[in-house]
Structure 1
Amino acid sequence: MATVGIIGAGKVGTAIARLAVAAGDEVLLVGSPGAAYFEQIVAMTVPGARAATVDEVADVAELTILAVPFGKVDTVALNRFDDAVVVDASNHWEPVDGTPAILQGATPGLTSSELVQRLHPDVRLVKSLNHLGYHDMDTDGAPAGAVNRRAVAVAGDHQSANDTVAAFLDRIGFDAVDIGTLAAGVVLQPGEQIFGRFVQSDDLAALAAEGRQLAA
């Protein structure tokens, strides 16, 4: 059992929260500042989770998942998470996000997670859970050892953080595949071969290697 913080209570955040609660983790869910009736919403959508603030999560969570729209990632006080393990589950959706401030003047070719890492260099950031949809999270988790268990990628520059996230993924129902550095996470973004595909570990690793070669 671990204490898991999830920042963002939309469809992705609540789907991950339900999986974590089912796995026996203590789950702290953070919504939009000033959201009305948030505690009641959490009780209805994620029974067993608890409404919390970013500061509470920063104080106690062993793992934190950033599940807010990409256009809002620079509004989250991740400076409170120095040395902590944070999963970036966001994606840049042009029709929704437009060109948010975090992209303005950004170095071409960087992944969205690398931009988040540059904003918060002391956070142990891991890119994961962004290449499957919230509906897949609700339906595709399976016990360890299950036939055709879905694989989920992990990309980050801190091996111990990658390992922490991999253990969490296994706990909530997925085979974790460490594909390397945060930059390697380019293959997990919208439009890439892995994005949205149901694959097992071997196929995910092969597609990630192929994608890295094409991106080089």
Structure 2
Amino acid sequence: MTPRIAVLGAGHAGPAIARVAIAAGYPVSVAASGDPEKIALITSVLVPGAEPRWAADAVRDAGVVVLSIPLHRFAAFDPGLVAGKIVIDAMNYWPPIDGVQELFDDPRYGSSEIVQRRLARSMVVKTLNHIGYHELEEELRPAGAPDRRALGVAGDDPGAVAVVADVVERIGYDAVRLDGLREGRRLQPGGPVFGVSLSRGQFERALGAEAA
């Protein structure tokens, strides 16, 4: 089964994620904060093959939802919209870039843990946040390629992690599963693998070196 993917966010990262998903054979819907007609032109140009839809419609038909909205808008995001859904958290909390966000400014938790606490009825999986949107298409490689890049996948629901890891593999990356959503903080800005192109072995060694 190939799940439909709903990408919430039509900025920089959202369309890039949508494009690689479409190239991997996934049906994809894209939604922004309002009327899909407002993003119809940009979708046809930047994400040919994706369907612009109202967010509620896109999520209803999706097996996987990619949350790629500006982080400062998350406080107003309706948790009910994605209740019962697998949610890929592709967002980052990066104060030097985005400023301090009160909701996320708690060092006891990783940003995706905070997202999961708010989206309590969803299965949140952190990935696609530690690779630049401009690199997504450039760095994907077929399975077995010696220079295939690894991406971390962190979540508390094993079934959701398995689904998302398969998405990561199919779009052209080696999925490295971390031990729970709490470990997702190691994928955040400042973490050992953030923004670094690493093979699976290098990725695992970088995580191991930090833990040592």
TM-score over 0.5 (shorter chain): yes
Deviation at 1:190?
A: 0.6
Q: Paired residue for 2:124?
A: 125
Q: Paired residue for 2:133?
A: 134
Q: Paired residue for 2:67?
A: 66
- Once residues 96 and 75 of structure 1 are traced to their aligned partners in structure 2, the CA distance between those partners, rounded to angstroms, is 20
Cα 1:20–1:126 change in 2 (3 A) is same
User: Does the 8 A contact of 1:155 with 1:179 survive in 2?
Assistant: yes
- Once residues 16 and 103 of structure 1 are traced to their aligned partners in structure 2, the CA distance between those partners, rounded to angstroms, is 24
User: Does the 8 A contact of 2:33 with 2:55 survive in 1?
Assistant: no
Deviation at 1:68?
A: 1.1
Establish whether residue 37 from structure 1 lines up as the match of residue 22 from structure 2.
Answer: no
Deviation at 1:34?
A: 4.9
- What 5-or-longer segments of structure 2 have no aligned partner? none
Deviation at 1:31?
A: 1.6
- What are the within-5 Å matches in structure 2 for residues 1-216 of structure 1? 1-34=2-35, 37-103=38-104, 106=106, 108-211=107-210, 213=211
User: Does the 8 A contact of 1:74 with 1:116 survive in 2?
Assistant: no
1:191 partner SS: coil
Deviation at 1:147?
A: 1.8
Deviation at 1:36?
A: 6.6
Letter of the aligned partner of 2:135 in structure 1?
Answer: D
- Once residues 18 and 196 of structure 1 are traced to their aligned partners in structure 2, the CA distance between those partners, rounded to angstroms, is 20
- Once residues 129 and 175 of structure 1 are traced to their aligned partners in structure 2, the CA distance between those partners, rounded to angstroms, is 12
- What 5-or-longer segments of structure 1 have no aligned partner? none
User: Does the 8 A contact of 1:23 with 1:171 survive in 2?
Assistant: yes
- Counting matched residue pairs gives 211
Letter of the aligned partner of 1:28 in structure 2?
Answer: S
Letter of the aligned partner of 1:197 in structure 2?
Answer: V
Letter of the aligned partner of 2:51 in structure 1?
Answer: R
Deviation at 1:138?
A: 2.1
Deviation at 1:74?
A: 2.4
- Once residues 202 and 103 of structure 1 are traced to their aligned partners in structure 2, the CA distance between those partners, rounded to angstroms, is 31
When the two structures are superposed, what TM-score results if normalisation uses the length of structure 1?
A: 0.91
When the two structures are superposed, what TM-score results if normalisation uses the length of structure 2?
A: 0.93
User: Does the 8 A contact of 2:6 with 2:30 survive in 1?
Assistant: yes
Letter of the aligned partner of 1:67 in structure 2?
Answer: S
RMSD: 1.7
